[in-house]
Amino acid sequence: MSPQNKAIGNIDQKIINMEKIVSRHFGQENSHRLTHYLKDKGYEAARKALTQMTGPQVIDEVKRSNLRGLGGAGFPTGTKWSFIPQANPKPKYLVINGDEGEPGTFKDKYILEQDPHALLEGIIITCYAIGSHKAYIYIRGEYIKSLEIVQGAVDEAYKGKYLGKGIMGTGFDIDVVVHPGAGAYICGEETALLESLEGKKGFPRLKPPFPAVVGLFGCPTVINNVETIACVPPIINKGAEWFAKLGSEKNGGNRLFCVSGHVAKPGVYELPHGTTLREIIYDHAGGILNGRKLKAVIPGGISAPVLTPDQIDVKMDFDSLKSIGSMAGSGGIIVMDDTTDMVWAAMITARFFADESCGQCSPCREGSGWVYRNVKRLYHGHARPHDLNNLPGIVNNIGGNTICAFGDAVSMSVGSYVSKFRSEFEAKIKERVCQI
């Protein structure tokens, strides 16, 4: 293990031997500096795209690479770009979603802080592909260090003529603005992010129209996650086929998995799509802490329905997780061992959603708080049987009935605790005490 890798500690030797893409510079000294980035073919992909390819060719390349949106929804990236109406005379925008707020997720932070130029190069290529000349990087307000580093990288790139007018001697103009969020989880939802960027309260918009047609300031807009865009330069450099081959079917490339909770070696792991959850927990993250037993695991951030130990042989890609009723989401894996009180875990989850519901539409606004108070009462042993019996019905009424996917998240995540660990909830009612 090199000294640099020791610095971030949790990257296993086994993974270091694997082909790394997005995390290839992680842990190296001064990896956030332009000089460092240039040493490793930095900005070559952008030059290649700008000088040798047309926009549609870039889009086609990304389509064939099977790159999917790594913020959580897993929408095919190239397809998303192709929705931008080129005939529309309005300016087009690229917005980078760096509002990483999903509990259990901390991958974008690493990219922003350790390899910001990879993101900037991805931005250049994407803007070129969709015909945009302005990109906004919306970074979670609490990520103060990330904001500073990314701004520093943007300044360096402007100085080195990688951003600004006529970049790299081509005729292409591009401006990049770094924008800090103000602390609301909902601003990670792409249309709420646009509202926030426009200076308004972060409320998700009604859809359609989708941002590709009416986005930022009413103009066609592509919104992509930090990790997604950081994958673009390697695709252009090494080709779509190489990238597609890395992952599983229809899920190209690797992804950064954030492992936290009761594991021996929590951290960020770059692994191919389709690696099983068991491998991630036991082979890469060092197994359950202190040799205890696994009780439950959240596979894709707090919004994803919780999995039980018998489900961990699932392949970690968008389609496989969906098929077993959960979701790959943001890649935030939260591991819980047998000391975990699942009612407590459900309560923490419900509290988060009650806290972060934006309050725009009624089922989520009133429902998330109601669910939290209900679960809280269950946890504290103050509930009656009808409270537990009502809970699945209440969460079901939220899901599917709201403006954005937040309501579905409340419904699916809290609902999964009740359906999979019902006996623990019942025990609370019987014993009328808090167990752990």
Fill in the DSSP letter of residue 4: H
Per-residue contact flags (x/-) with other proteins for residues 107 to 136, judged by CB under 8 A: ------------------------------
Q: How far is the CB of 330 from other proteins (least distance, A)?
A: 21
The single residue among 41, 366, 431, 435 that binds other proteins, judged by CB under 8 A, is 366
Q: How far is the CB of 369 from other proteins (least distance, A)?
A: 4
14 vs 322, beta carbon nearer other proteins: 322
What would the two tokens of residue 174 be? Answer: 């591009």
Interaction residues for other proteins, span 167-226 (CB under 8 A)? 184, 201, 206
Q: How far is the CB of 174 from other proteins (least distance, A)?
A: 34
Considering the rule CB under 8 A, would residue 370 count as an interface residue with other proteins? yes
Nearest CA-CA partner of 412 in 346, 334, 351? 346
Classify 178 as helix, strand or coil: strand
245 vs 382, beta carbon nearer other proteins: 382
Cα three-residue angle 160-44-94, rounded to 5 degrees: 75
Considering the rule CB under 8 A, would residue 365 count as an interface residue with other proteins? yes
The single residue among 187, 288, 321, 361 that binds other proteins, judged by CB under 8 A, is 361
- Region for 362 from its dihedrals, namely left if φ exceeds 0, alpha if ψ lies in -120 to 50, beta otherwise: alpha
Per-residue contact flags (x/-) with other proteins for residues 320 to 359, judged by CB under 8 A: ----------------------------------xxxxxx
184 vs 230, beta carbon nearer other proteins: 184
163 vs 383, beta carbon nearer other proteins: 383
**Sheet with 332-337, edge to edge strand ranges:** 267-272, 254-261, 332-337, 294-298
Total residues in contact with other proteins, by rule CB under 8 A:
35
Interaction residues for other proteins, span 278-307 (CB under 8 A)? none
239 vs 369, beta carbon nearer other proteins: 369
Nearest CA-CA partner of 183 in 238, 219, 141, 120? 141
366 vs 431, beta carbon nearer other proteins: 366
67 vs 388, beta carbon nearer other proteins: 388
Classify 138 as helix, strand or coil: strand
Cα three-residue angle 196-199-205, rounded to 5 degrees: 45
Q: Candidates 54-62, 122-130, 163-171, 382-390: pick the segment binding other proteins (CB under 8 A).
A: 382-390
Q: Candidates 75-83, 91-99, 362-370, 418-426: pick the segment binding other proteins (CB under 8 A).
A: 362-370
149 vs 361, beta carbon nearer other proteins: 361
Interaction residues for other proteins, span 12-71 (CB under 8 A)? none
330 vs 368, beta carbon nearer other proteins: 368
126 vs 374, beta carbon nearer other proteins: 374
Q: How far is the CB of 396 from other proteins (least distance, A)?
A: 8
H-run or E-run covering 122: helix 116-130
Strands 254-261 and 267-272: antiparallel
Q: How far is the CB of 32 from other proteins (least distance, A)?
A: 34
CA dihedral defined by 204, 316, 417, 288, rounded to 10 degrees? -130
**Cα separation, 12 vs 5, whole angstroms:** 9
The sign of the torsion formed by the CA atoms of 340, 341, 345, 348 equals negative
Residues ≥6 apart with Cβ < 8 Å to 282? none
352 vs 417, beta carbon nearer other proteins: 352
The single residue among 383, 388, 409, 414 that binds other proteins, judged by CB under 8 A, is 383
Considering the rule CB under 8 A, would residue 363 count as an interface residue with other proteins? yes
- The answer to whether 179 touches 134, Cβ cutoff 8 Å, is no
Q: How far is the CB of 140 from other proteins (least distance, A)?
A: 16
**Cα separation, 192 vs 205, whole angstroms:** 7
What would the two tokens of residue 108 be? Answer: 């974008």
Interaction residues for other proteins, span 384-403 (CB under 8 A)? 384, 386-387, 390, 393-394, 397-398, 400-403
User: φ and ψ at 258, to 5 degrees?
Assistant: -105, 110
**DSSP codes, 284-308:** IS-SBGGG--EEEEESSSTTSPPB-
**Cα separation, 115 vs 26, whole angstroms:** 7
Q: How far is the CB of 104 from other proteins (least distance, A)?
A: 21
Q: By CB under 8 A, name the binding residues for other proteins.
A: 184, 201, 206, 354-363, 365-370, 373-374, 377, 383-384, 386-387, 390, 393-394, 397-398, 400-403
